[in-house]
Amino acid sequence: MSSVNVPWDPELLKRYDLQGPRYTSYPTAPQFLESFDAQDFAQAIAKCNASERDLSLYFHIPFCETLCYYCGCNKIVTHHKERAMPYLEALEREMSAIATQLDTTKPVAQLHWGGGTPTYISESEMRWLMAATRRHFNLLPGDALEASVEVHPGRMSVDKIYCLRDIGFNRLSMGVQDFDPDVQKAVNRYNSVEQVNAIMAAANECGFQSISMDIIYGLPLQSVASLSKTLDEVIALSPDRISAFGYAHLPHLFKSQGLIDDDQLPAAQQKLDMLQLIIERLQAAGYVYVGMDHFAKTSDSLVKAQNEQALYRNFQGYSTHKGCELLAFGVSAISYFGDTYIKNSKDINEYQNLINANTPAFVSGVSLTREDLIRKELISQLICHFELNFATFNQQFDIDMAQHFAPELQALTPMVADGLVTLTPTGIQVNSAGRLLIRRICMVFDQYLKSSSTALYSKVI
């Protein structure tokens, strides 16, 4: 499945290009409840302890030295580096509080530092945080642990790469976005080809197992011609994975995007042309379209996991560790364990005050119903593997797909006619033409969209 090339049909894309979730969770964040309380949290911990699933840890480090205008992440822009350690100490207290309730003999198979800019903190602070993590949790030894970190190549020294590798990281994700100087100025995000090359050389030298790059299309002053040059440079650098995200201009949701001149944004057709260029160029360069903006070399573990039906999707995107209990720490972090989503406060002062008062930092959450779990797995299968076998699914959940999802299967009829999916008595197959529209296909099975607005979401293309 994963080696299939994605065709380009602009009319089809325009027809289905609606706003919708990215399905890093199901139910999605707007469905989380503020009524979620300590009893719900305790029940999630108990279910987690009773499960046989490994653990995955996420740490949100929100600090950045400069403001990237396009960014929609939860971040704090400051040059006051002394703010970092009190926050890291709060992370450690949050870990300690969870560890006293959790079965910490469970192995940690996966770890990720995101942000913000995790490499904002000093080398000594990095070592301190990783040592604290190892005290509280049972991390798999050496490279048996999949440990990844996000870096801003224009805002860090090469020496930090060696430090990251020394404390256990073996996967690197770089936010390149665009190499064009005018585009970089328009979004206040700077990193040169030389800087990225130096980071890559150091990462390769000290044995990082996978290097990923993010690029964004649809940025101000970006053109098909300028993006083509960036793609030339990215392909020449030869990362293992490339994520190509469409810029969603939502200044009413993200204040920093108000600093972008609307008149400098490319038109909708230009943005589609850029996406077509990305797909054609990356596939021609040997990258597999894994799905949802992600491309990877055939040798990469993402492609292998997809081929083995082991791919998974969570808040960090596609993952090779399906079924881990996700414990997320820090401001705005979202955990998923015990079949429950738990979201921390997005305000750093509230987060630190709650932790310092020995109070859990969560402000909302949702315990999944049986129906939620059924639909979550269905959406995951489609978004990760582009197919669903009815017999296997019926057996897994003791249902009759044809009866349980009769209205949804009927709603697929126009998509079948348009060649996006093939529907048979044995299952659903997402055709190559439907891969780019997988978010739209999954929306058919989202029972919450019937009663909520899609205005909070970006367009599916």
- Neighbour tally for 457: CB within 10 Å: 19
pLDDT in tens, 215-263: 999 999 999 999 999 999 999 999 999 999 999 998 988 999 999 999 9
Instruction: Verify cis geometry, omega within 30 degrees of 0, for the bond prior to 27.
Output: yes
What per-residue confidence (pLDDT) applies to 318? 87
pLDDT in tens, 394-433: 999 999 999 999 999 999 999 999 999 999 999 999 998 8
- Neighbour tally for 301: CB within 10 Å: 19
What per-residue confidence (pLDDT) applies to 460? 77
pLDDT in tens, 161-214: 999 999 999 999 999 999 999 999 999 999 999 999 999 999 999 999 999 999
Instruction: Give the pTM.
Output: 0.94
pLDDT in tens, 73-122: 999 999 999 999 999 999 999 999 999 999 999 999 999 999 999 999 99
pLDDT at 266 over 70: yes
What per-residue confidence (pLDDT) applies to 309? 87
pLDDT tier at 58, thresholds 50, 70, 90:
very high
Domains annotated for the chain, with CATH where assigned, are: 1-27+370-461 (1.10.10.920), 30-329 (3.80.30.20)
What per-residue confidence (pLDDT) applies to 327? 97
> What does the DSSP assignment read for 198-263?
HHHHHHHHTT-SEEEEEEEES-TT--HHHHHHHHHHHHHH--SEEEEEEP---TTT-GGGGGS-GG
pLDDT in tens, 340-350: 999 999 999 99
Residues 383-401: what's their mean pLDDT? 96
What per-residue confidence (pLDDT) applies to 131? 98
What per-residue confidence (pLDDT) applies to 1? 43
pLDDT tier at 2, thresholds 50, 70, 90:
very low
Residues 355-382: what's their mean pLDDT? 96
For residue 301 the two structure tokens come to 């573990």
- Percent of the chain at pLDDT exceeding 70: 98
pLDDT at 3 over 70: no
DSSP tally for the chain: helices H, then strands E: 17, 20
Q: What is the average pLDDT value for the chain, to the nearest integer?
A: 94
What per-residue confidence (pLDDT) applies to 192? 96
Q: Let me know: does 190 contact 184? Beta carbons within 8 Å.
A: yes
Euclidean distance between the first and final Cα of the chain, in Å? 21
What per-residue confidence (pLDDT) applies to 455? 61
For residue 131 the two structure tokens come to 């040592």
Please name the residue that has the structure tokens 């697929």. 412
